[in-house]
Amino acid sequence: MTERDPGVVRPLTHADLPVLDRFERELFGAGAWSRAALAEELEGPGRWYVGVQDAATGALVGYAGLWFDGVDAQVMTIGTTTGHQRRGVGAVLLATLLGRAREVGAAHVYLEVRVDNDPALRLYERAGFARMGRRRGYYQPEDIDAWTMSLALGAPGADDDKELSA
């Protein structure tokens, strides 16, 4: 495996919950989803969750989820375990979600990101996402603002983005 080999993308199942639970606490601290919330996400209507498995060990090293509401898609979460960051895992996960969003015919993809999360902001901006508005205190209990970001996928009506109210 080369240092940049991000691994293999696969769907996530309930069997992955203990690992996802650990990743959530490692990556999101006080803002981590509970195991029950993760379980609901994996099964929720319109949800689609994938992980990246290390090519050498088979261990899960990243995960991400998309919600499609029939019109637009939303990146629900994306994370790479700290020991595997900066090897292309996040970029592969995001590209996989965007591929899925295109497949299901989403006009736009939206997401929220902490205003102080430079790695994620760079990842999203590299993929073409643009900042739309700022949501005060979106992340609780940390009380940190979020940027809302959007990417138009070229479907009819996708070029009429409007500024979201902050």
Ligand X SMILES: CC(C)(COP(=O)(O)OP(=O)(O)OC[C@H]1O[C@@H](n2cnc3c(N)ncnc32)[C@H](O)[C@@H]1OP(=O)(O)O)[C@@H](O)C(=O)NCCC(=O)NCCS
**96 touches ligand X (CB under 6 A):** no
* Interaction between residue 123 and ligand X (CB under 6 A): yes
Q: Which stretch binds ligand X (CB under 6 A): 42-50, 102-110, 120-128, 135-143?
A: 120-128
Among 109, 113, 151, 152, binds ligand X (CB under 6 A): 113
Q: Which stretch binds ligand X (CB under 6 A): 12-20, 39-47, 66-74, 78-86?
A: 78-86
85 sits near ligand X (criterion: CB under 6 A): yes
Question: Of 102 and 114, which CB lies nearer to ligand X in the complex structure?
Answer: 114
Provide the 3-class DSSP secondary structure of residue 60.
strand
> Quick check: 67 and 101 in contact, CB under 8 A?
no
Residues 17-56 that bind ligand X (CB under 6 A): 27
CB-count burial class (<10 Å; 0-12, 13-18, 19+) for 70? exposed
Would you say 55 or 157 has its CB closer to ligand X? Answer: 55
Residue nearest to ligand X (CB): 90
115 binds ligand X (CB under 6 A): no
Euclidean distance between CA atoms 142 and 106, whole angstroms: 31
Parallel, antiparallel, or unpaired: how do β-strands 144-152 and 130-139 relate? antiparallel
Q: Classify the C-alpha dihedral 155-151-131-166 as positive or negative.
A: positive
Let me know: does 1 contact 58? Beta carbons within 8 Å.
no
Interacting residue ranges for ligand X, rule: CB under 6 A: 27, 62, 78-80, 85-91, 113, 117-120, 122-123, 126
